[in-house]
A = this chain, B = another copy of it.
Amino acid sequence: MSKPKNTIPNWKIKLHEIIYEADTATGKLFDIVLLILILSSIVLVMLESVGSIDAQFHDFFDIAEWIITILFTLEYIARIISIKKPKEYIFSFFGIVDLLSTIPKYLSYFFVGTHALVALRALRLLRVFRILKLVRYLGASHNLIKALKASRAKIAVFMLAVIIICVILGTVMYLVESNKNSGFTSIPRSVYWAIVTMTTVGYGDIAPVTALGQFIAAAIMILGYGIIAIPTGIVGAEFVSQEKKNVHLNTQSCPNCAAENHRDNAQYCYECGHILNH
């Protein structure tokens, strides 16, 4: 836990290269092995939850999980000792997820009460969040995230508006259908139904039976069908405006006045008229 000094040992630099970077052959291999381990652990947790499969392969699942848990633990330790500032990793989002994905199995070893195990299963499932690491491997998501960030506020307003409309319409439907045995037994349930309908999910576990109820339901559907256009329009416009910046402008800088964002086929600087280099 002692802070590494300025003269970092050679093996630490190598370990850091392998774990945190993907430029060398061993670095790439490490990433692929880790990816397979994460996916395996998720598949294991999933299969274990299926009663019939768990009954047959319980011992295999137990051993496999111990192996994966130990490997994850080793990786966690390696990450801490190979980085310059371990605290930044430990308290980062992925640092906490890494820790939480190893702890449950150890805890299940110490607390082997029948009741405690049920609760521990819950903790163990947090390991699923490890899959989020996959996003690290995707470079193409850059523009996606930029466009989402730019339209974040507008989408939040849209979602809030949808929730407000659903609360109002759910309340109206409760008044119309509450005494008809059609599932609208309370306002929260009616609001749940309004969300199910507005988002065009439509389970059918709750459905209006009165003529007026069906008329309002039809109105909600057409409204939901129409306003889906809004988030789409927002994000779409954001993408268009980003695409434009990417496609039509180049990264040249005027040798005279250092102006940037020249058109791709520009011969002269738009600012000072100086000829551009090619």
Contact = CB atoms under 8 A, between A and B. Distances in A.
Interface of A: 42, 45-47, 49-51, 122, 125, 128-129, 131-132, 134-135, 138, 140-141, 143-144, 147-148, 153-164, 167-168, 171, 174-175, 185-189, 191-192, 195-205, 207, 211, 214-215, 217-218, 221-222, 224-226, 228-244, 247, 259, 261, 265, 267, 270-271
B186 A160 contact: no
Interface SS of A by simple majority:
helix
Contacts of A222: 159, 162-163, 195, 199
A244 B243 CA distance: 12
Nearest to A197: B201
Given A144-B230, A217-B192, A233-B232, A167 B42 contact: yes
Contact of A199 (B168, B188, B204, B224): B224
Contact of A240 (B156, B240, B267): B240
B125 A153 contact: no
B225 A200 contact: yes
A240 B236 CA distance: 8
